[in-house]
Amino acid sequence: MLNAGDMEFLDRLLEREPCLFLDELQDRLYDGRHKQVSTATLCRSISKLNISRKCVTKQAAERNEHLRAIWEGEMAQYDDPDLFVFLDESSVDNKTGQRNNGRSYRGTPCVRRATFIRGTRYSILPALTVDGIMALDIFPGSVDRERFLQFLREQVVRTTVFHIQTV
């Protein structure tokens, strides 16, 4: 029932929006190509495109692979793990409505770029060493520059200075 143009439309649509449900695909196919097909026909057509249903891997839209590779190259010169204090900001919200399943070509992960901000956000600022957590701050809202610098001054630097003085 679907011609090559319809199949190309489905392929491009699932490439852009891999988490669409079959009924949403039906609506998009009707709106974009004026084709009305059953969900069974859609399932068979998607399978013919070599696309399968799988769990979604979420990837931050802000991630820059080139800058990450440069950083990894620069960090390779250090070999003593005791020199490092690892800092990171993580957050979670309680209204995440992102879908966990989507479709992509067989043998490839299903990835959807998304911004992870939804609902009330809670943030955590940990400072980790090879010996464990040396400082921790958990609070509602997002981390801004001032909050991060305050965490560094009041918890990380103070803890590090105290540790050096006691050794």
Q: Mean of the pLDDT values across residues 37-42?
A: 94
Pair 129, 156 in one domain: yes
Identify the domain containing residue 15 by its residue range.
Answer: 1-49
Average pLDDT estimate for 138-162: 87
DSSP state of 100: S
Q: Among the residues of the chain, which ranges form H helices?
A: 4-16, 22-33, 39-48, 65-75, 145-151, 158-166
> Is residue 66 domain-shared with residue 145, that is, in the same domain?
yes
Q: Is the pLDDT of residue 72 over 70?
A: yes
Residue 22 has pLDDT above 90, yes or no: yes
User: Does 42 share its domain with 62?
Assistant: no
Same domain, yes or no: 21 and 60? no
Q: Taking 90 as the threshold, does the pLDDT of residue 126 lie above it?
A: yes
Examine the pLDDT at 143 and tell me if it is beyond 70.
yes
Confidence of residue 74 (pLDDT cuts 50, 70, 90): very high
User: In which band, very low, low, confident or very high, does the pLDDT at 6 lie, cut at 50, 70 and 90?
Assistant: very high
CB 111 within 8 A of CB 59: yes
The reply to whether 73 and 18 lie within a common domain is no
Radius of gyration of the chain (CA): 24
Q: Are residues 33 and 98 in the same domain?
A: no
**Which of these ranges, 23-27, 59-63, 102-106, 107-111, has the smallest mean pLDDT?**
59-63
Q: What is the mean pLDDT of residues 29-48?
A: 94
Shared-domain flag, residues 153 and 80: yes
Pick from 35, 29, 48: nearest CA to 103: 48
Same domain, 38 and 115: no
Neighbours of 136 (CB within 10 A): 12
Query: How many structural domains compose the chain?
Result: 2
The answer for residues whose C-beta is within 8 angstroms of residue 23's C-beta and 6 or more apart is 39
One domain, residues 100 and 120: yes
pTM: 0.46
Q: What per-residue confidence (pLDDT) applies to 148?
A: 93
Within this chain, do residues 120 and 155 fall inside the same structural domain, yes or no? Answer: yes
Taking the C-alpha atoms of residue 145 and residue 125, their distance in angstroms, rounded to an integer, is: 12
| Per-residue model confidence (pLDDT) at position 1 | 80
For residue 97, pLDDT beyond 80: no
